[in-house]
Amino acid sequence: MPADNEKELELQLRGKAWKVYWLLLKEGCPLSVREVQKILHFSSPSIAQHHLDRLCELGLVKKQRTGGSYLLTSEVKIGVLRHFVRLGRLMFPRYFFYAIFSSTFYIAYLALLVQSFTRENLFISIFGAVVSAIFWYEALRVWRLKPY
């Protein structure tokens, strides 16, 4: 997707429309207007309908002929979505995997390889703790940016 289209899409995809898109992306299955309204706690189905229609106009969602449910047709990596990885129905910040990886090796190092506290072991221990802490901080920071 060209940079101009990404910018335009980011401007169009804001607020409640962003929440509806995130929900459809996360669920991975067609949802009706009432389901969207109920899950996102919109005050009326017409609000959900409006935002679903808006997503249809942007070409991100398609209304199914039978049942009237809406299905995500296009995944875009804009805004905070650039920092998330989708595994099935779950969305994780990329930093979450880095944090798990670094923490696992840090704990394994401390448990298996540190026999005594030398200057080198102290340096590696402090470095490992700082790296793990940074990744966990970034994972939590990005997690808080998700729409709901």
Q: How many C-beta atoms lie closer than 10 Å to residue 62's C-beta?
A: 15
Neighbour-count burial for 93-110, b at 16+ CB within 10 Å, e otherwise: bebbebbeebbeebeeee
**Domain co-membership, 118 together with 102:** yes
Question: In sequence order, which residues have a C-beta less than 8 Å from that of residue 97 and are 6 or more positions away?
Answer: 85
**Domain co-membership, 55 together with 108:** no
Indicate the number of domains in the chain.
Answer: 2
The one-character DSSP state at 93 is E
pLDDT in single tens digits along all 148 residues of the chain: 445 677 778 777 888 888 999 899 888 889 999 999 999 999 999 999 999 999 998 888 999 888 889 998 888 887 778 888 888 878 899 999 999 999 999 999 999 988 888 888 899 999 999 999 999 999 999 999 887 6
In a domain, 40, yes or no: yes
CATH number at residue 37: 1.10.10.10
What is the residue range of 88's domain? 83-143
Whole-angstrom CA distances from 82 to 65, 93, 95, 105, 142 are: 31, 9, 12, 26, 10
**Domain co-membership, 8 together with 66:** yes
In a domain, 119, yes or no: yes
**Residue finishing a domain among 76, 108, 125:** 76
Q: Which two tokens stand for residue 128?
A: 């490992």
**Domain co-membership, 90 together with 57:** no
**Is the pTM of the predicted complex or chain greater than 0.75?**
no
**CA–CA gap between residue 75 and residue 27 (Å, rounded):** 13
Q: Residue by residue, what is the 3-state secondary structure of 21-34? A: HHHHHHHCCCECHH
